[in-house]
């Protein structure tokens, strides 16, 4: 195996693949990056058994400056290999596999020889049928992920809650995540003739969004029994699916409310961030919202016995319903508010001090909801 290639184009692709490679793995060969050179181009693969990423560099694309002398494959230690390529002096580099999988990397006056591994021992990628694909505009897909993945659980005791549940049918797509303290649900008009109910790990979705460059216009999604494949440009991103039954979350969202108040998202976020400065110094990390409808007044309180207190009268758009005092974790509210983006008006709806409350955009209320469980402080 021997080839030369444009160094910057190569690094762009290895940076993507590197996201799937972990140094903490029980399978030593998975700490490596697999290079597979064919007559058509170079395929680079990384995997940690939960996610796998492949990136293809085509010989036909002249920008890659890929020149193939002999085909073959090798697995190289990912961390060292990537750092070596980044620091080489020239614009191009040459790579040649010698005897016993030793690999010679040269560029300009620099020359490295590193020990590789036999690529035939590298685990095979999962097989996912790609004939029936769902296609998303990239911006919309990223928005859906970012709005829901914030609510996944970090606790492995209930594995299904560490993922985002995607429900896809002829009526549309609903994605939902909850850690039992908060919930995020988003609906979009992407339909499928087949019904799907799948749970994608939150960590996989976070890495996927980081992998998709701004130049990508759309992303395709293919589903098999225990794997999902996302493909875009020359990248293929595989993730395992979580086993189990996701809880029925629709019943958790209140159908009606007794108090409603609308805010400009950016202004409310600023107020919550100020109040949480003191709550973070307290052991329980709680802030309180007090609403007095007759006085048309909403006040936010933060308290830390060790530091002091903060009180801020909120600037809201509209207010109706009953008086209310409710306490909650400010970090949950900050995450929820950020998910709406700036320059958005949101409606907060409350039923009682001890029942979950919701946040929805004033426009398209049915498409997006964030739910937060309050904290009992008495």
Residue 228 maps to a domain: no
Asked if 89 and 189 sit in the same domain, the reply is no
Asked if 159 and 115 sit in the same domain, the reply is no
> pLDDT per residue over 210-219, tens digit each?
999 989 999 9
pLDDT above 80: residue 377: no
> pLDDT per residue over 51-60, tens digit each?
999 999 999 9
Residue 23 maps to a domain: yes
Asked if 106 and 141 sit in the same domain, the reply is no
CATH number at residue 30: 3.10.150.10
What are the φ and ψ backbone dihedral angles of 198, each rounded to 5 degrees? -130, 155
Residue 225 maps to a domain: no
* Average pLDDT of the segment spanning 155-173: 94
Residue 105 maps to a domain: yes
pLDDT above 80: residue 48: yes
Residue 377 maps to a domain: no
Residue that terminates a domain, selected from 121, 144, 179: 121
Residue 128 maps to a domain: no
Question: pTM score, two decimals?
Answer: 0.92
* Average pLDDT of the segment spanning 157-171: 95
Count of structural domains, the chain: 3
Number of C-beta neighbours around residue 113 at 10 A: 11
Residue 108 pLDDT level (bands cut at 50, 70, 90) = very high
* Average pLDDT of the segment spanning 349-358: 96
Residue 376 pLDDT level (bands cut at 50, 70, 90) = confident
pLDDT above 80: residue 71: yes
Residue 340 lies in domain: 253-372
Asked if 69 and 29 sit in the same domain, the reply is yes
Asked if 108 and 21 sit in the same domain, the reply is yes
* Average pLDDT of the segment spanning 76-101: 95
* Average pLDDT of the segment spanning 96-116: 95
pLDDT confidence of residue 378: 58
pLDDT confidence of residue 164: 98
Residue 264 maps to a domain: yes
Asked if 63 and 154 sit in the same domain, the reply is no
Asked if 12 and 96 sit in the same domain, the reply is yes
Asked if 97 and 194 sit in the same domain, the reply is no
Residue 357 maps to a domain: yes
Asked if 216 and 282 sit in the same domain, the reply is no
Asked if 290 and 348 sit in the same domain, the reply is yes
* Average pLDDT of the segment spanning 69-86: 95
CA distances from 97 to 42, 47, 72, 160 (A): 14, 22, 9, 43
> pLDDT per residue over 1-30, tens digit each?
999 999 999 999 999 999 999 888 888 999
pLDDT above 90: residue 374: yes
Residue % of the chain over a pLDDT of 90: 84
* Average pLDDT of the segment spanning 30-38: 96
> pLDDT per residue over 326-349, tens digit each?
999 999 999 999 999 877 999 999
Residue that terminates a domain, selected from 67, 98, 121: 121
- What rounded mean pLDDT belongs to the chain? 94
> pLDDT per residue over 182-229, tens digit each?
999 999 999 999 999 999 999 999 999 999 998 999 999 999 989 999
Asked if 148 and 96 sit in the same domain, the reply is no
Asked if 100 and 175 sit in the same domain, the reply is no
């Amino acid at each position: 195996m021997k080839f030369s290639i444009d160094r910057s184009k190569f690094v762009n692709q290895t940076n993507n693949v590197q996201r799937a490679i972990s140094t903490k793995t029980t399978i030593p060969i998975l700490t490596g990056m697999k290079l597979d050179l064919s007559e058509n181009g170079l395929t680079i693969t990384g995997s940690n058994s939960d996610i796998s990423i492949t990136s293809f560099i085509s010989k036909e694309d002249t920008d890659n400056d890929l020149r193939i002398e002999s085909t073959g494959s090798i697995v190289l230690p990912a961390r060292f290999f990537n750092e070596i390529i980044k620091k080489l002096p020239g614009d191009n580099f040459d790579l040649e596999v010698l005897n016993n999988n030793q690999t010679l990397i040269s560029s300009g006056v620099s020359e490295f020889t590193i020990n590789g591994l036999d690529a035939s021992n590298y685990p095979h990628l999962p097989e996912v049928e790609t004939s029936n694909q769902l296609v998303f505009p990239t911006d919309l897909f990223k928005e859906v992920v970012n709005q829901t993945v914030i609510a996944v659980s970090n606790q492995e005791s209930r594995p299904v809650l560490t993922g985002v549940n995607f429900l896809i049918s002829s009526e549309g797509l609903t994605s939902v995540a909850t850690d039992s303290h908060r919930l995020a649900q988003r609906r979009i008009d992407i339909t499928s003739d087949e019904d799907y109910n799948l749970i994608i790990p939150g960590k996989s979705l976070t890495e996927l969004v980081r992998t998709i460059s701004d130049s990508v216009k759309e992303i395709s999604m293919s589903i098999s029994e225990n794997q999902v494949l996302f493909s875009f440009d020359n990248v293929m991103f595989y993730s395992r699916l979580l086993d189990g039954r996701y809880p029925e979350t629709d019943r958790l969202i209140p159908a009606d409310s007794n108090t409603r108040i609308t805010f400009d998202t950016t202004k409310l976020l600023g107020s919550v961030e100020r109040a949480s400065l003191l709550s973070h110094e307290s052991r329980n990390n709680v802030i309180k919202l007090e609403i007095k409808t007759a006085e048309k007044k909403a006040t936010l309180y933060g308290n830390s016995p060790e530091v002091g207190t903060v009180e801020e009268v909120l600037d809201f758009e509209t207010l109706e319903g009953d008086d209310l005092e409710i306490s909650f974790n400010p970090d949950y509210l900050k995450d929820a508010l950020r998910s709406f983006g700036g320059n958005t008006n949101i409606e907060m709806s409350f039923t009682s001090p001890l029942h979950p409350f919701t946040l929805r955009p004033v426009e398209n209320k049915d498409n997006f909801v964030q739910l937060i469980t309050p904290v009992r402080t008495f």
